[in-house]
Structure 1
């Protein structure tokens, strides 16, 4: 017997039209969590902050 994928929000079997979710409601809940920053993608600090900073040697005397 094949394993049926389940909705990551409620655990019900997924529906092809809303995959990987079971309904539009669960898809909207997930999207809301991304918008409210409940989910985050880990990343390394960028070098941009150091490139845009002014060093003491660059300041006029």
Structure 2
């Protein structure tokens, strides 16, 4: 009988890598989930740093600090 605590014994979900679209396991056996690899994870992080992604806001005015304190 299989141990239910063993990750290999439990059912798993399959998803698509958000970066390349390849099928990936979405469980503990995939250290980069939801990505397929470390490469895709780092490419996605680079897209965030480059400003290609953003979180929408309802605030119409950007909040910038005034270096002069005005």
TM-score, structure 2 normalization: 0.57
* Structure 2 stretches lacking a partner, 5+ long: 1-11, 64-69
RMSD: 2.7
Q: Which runs of 4+ in 1 moved over 2 A?
A: none
Q: Which has the higher helix share?
A: 1
Q: Kindly state the Cα deviation for residue 45 of structure 1 after the two structures are TM-superposed.
A: 1.6
Q: Which has the higher strand share?
A: 2
* Equivalent position of 2:49 in the other structure: 35
2:23 to 4, 13, 24: 13
TM-score, structure 1 normalization: 0.64
* Structure 1 stretches lacking a partner, 5+ long: 55-61
